[in-house]
Structure 1
């Protein structure tokens, strides 16, 4: 990180976090307009160019209401990493010299943690090295690579279906001789912790409210073209592109490739989204520094007071 960035202590950041479909983006947009602030993405799917409908990315009209950054800028077949995000975030801060508050919006807990607390130095590995492992993934299958990973790093929590992180973990081990667990335990981890004043705001609903919101969200995605959006990337040969394994796109790929019904697709996306929400709630509830709020008037008014105090 550039030393001149570290000295900009007057910048104030607001993490706006919580599960999918909890209303984070709408609240952040309202507050950015109110305070003359900007919105910076920290959602791991909304980084990608062309993934709009399934990523629930902000519309062009919403982007005109307040400046939005780090949305829809990574082109296939490139893939974002937490280290890459930190690089892009600090370059953005240095280049833009923001005067108003920065609302950092998204539900990707690992990226939020990396930005807040810093992380181990990112290992730079030649592209051809990764391509060889991706070739192995196709030829040997994910199960074989996953078994290799667990043998070398028994503490790994990477799921067999998380192909991007699986390939990344294997390439680090083979290239450096160290596991990701080894790297994360180094004392260098916190040297790049966020140097600005910040608070974390979180939104949540009861399960019954999520069911209704997710159903509406899924219907909207299908109506607005997630099938066509996904088909476009499959036709370009990006069927193993990591973002297409995210919730919504993963089910749509299966729908297209296996000729399933639209009823199946709707139910599968809703089920996958509810599972994601459960995981996100579990992740964020571990963080007792988050100021949680419902979306009712009383809760929002109280949150507004706290935000006013932070920004005053």
Structure 2
């Protein structure tokens, strides 16, 4: 059985370039493991591989989801599992991305949470529209105190998920988190590489410059097209790094310079969280200087 390669690291650490090089050298298939690069609406702002890069080696699970979809880790492992089963013999799977939860789901599986009917999900999301995350957290604390205690008051998506589970089943989310569904890589050999920048100042400079390059390449027009769709503000794509600030600029609430600065700051903060996640959650990975 071909050993899978997993490449993780903070944003702008060079993951995609390494994955592409390995794919070309070893006949591999680059498989996305980034929660924003699944969306077709944001090629530029999510730093998806370019058309030229995708033509240089097979790339899968990039841009295959519409922005109106609330894509989840559960959906991701289903897609990844099907893809692995369809790969031709000898093809090297190279998972590449910055979403730690996706890698955990691939290797360790997910809690066996029950499905939530779409009408229940829509009702919860509509009721949460415009409400700050701490208010939703307080509501969850009334319905599921133990579940709320395990979540940060600002973790909007997981709070909503817990509210949806409670609304659909009448039970706390913790009642379902003991049993686990094995991940697609369970029982399969894999090697995890984590690209760790040696100098944080260099990483911050890369992030800032890349965001400016995204704007130069047309990221503002990409967000303008997204805004014209009128999607719900709670959808993951509407909270992608850079989107809130650029939307504020398009509404006349911020200058472009302010929007760029906000996008850069949000991305730098995200990179810091990614590094923290690795240190606490991803055992057995090799650290590679980036």
User: TM-score, with normalisation over the residues of structure 2?
Assistant: 0.91
Structure 1's 195 and 250: CA in aligned 2 closer, same or farther, altered over 3 A?
A: farther
Identify which of 15, 18, 21 aligns with 1:27: 18
Q: Give the equivalent residue in structure 2 for 1:3.
A: none
Are 2:195 and 1:200 equivalent residues in the alignment? no
Query: SS of 1:144's equivalent?
Result: helix
Q: Deviations over 1:179-211 (max 9, x none)?
A: 333322x1x325446231001001121111112
Number of positions where the alignment pairs a residue of Structure 1 with one of Structure 2: 283
Q: How does 1:31-42 map to 2 (within 5 A)?
A: 31-42=22-33
Identify which of 264, 268, 271 aligns with 1:270: 264
Give the whole-Å Cα distance in 1 for the aligned partners of 2:269 and 2:131.
29
Give the whole-Å Cα distance in 1 for the aligned partners of 2:42 and 2:172.
32
Q: Deviations over 1:52-106 (max 9, x none)?
A: 1110000111011110000101113112111111111111112233522111000
Q: How does 1:1-312 map to 2 (within 5 A)?
A: 10-138=1-129, 142-151=133-142, 152=144, 153-160=147-154, 162-184=155-177, 186=178, 188-189=179-180, 191-192=182-183, 194-205=186-197, 206-240=199-233, 241-286=235-280, 287-295=282-290
Q: CA RMSD in A?
A: 1.8
Q: Deviations over 1:103-125 (max 9, x none)?
A: 10001011111111011224211
59-68 or 256-265, which moves further after superposition?
Answer: 256-265
Query: SS of 2:110's equivalent?
Result: coil
Q: Deviations over 1:126-178 (max 9, x none)?
A: 11111111121127554432211233123232443x54433222110121233
Does the CA-based 8 Å contact 1:226-1:249 persist in structure 2?
no
Structure 1's 225 and 13: CA in aligned 2 closer, same or farther, altered over 3 A?
A: same
Give the whole-Å Cα distance in 1 for the aligned partners of 2:252 and 2:150.
32
Give the whole-Å Cα distance in 2 for the aligned partners of 1:217 and 1:139.
31
- Cα offset, 1:239, TM superposition: 4.5
Give the whole-Å Cα distance in 1 for the aligned partners of 2:208 and 2:97.
20
Structure 2: tracts of 5 or more residues without a match = none
Give the whole-Å Cα distance in 1 for the aligned partners of 2:191 and 2:137.
37
Does the CA-based 8 Å contact 2:133-2:156 persist in structure 1?
yes
Structure 1's 142 and 280: CA in aligned 2 closer, same or farther, altered over 3 A?
A: closer
Structure 1: tracts of 5 or more residues without a match = 1-9, 296-312
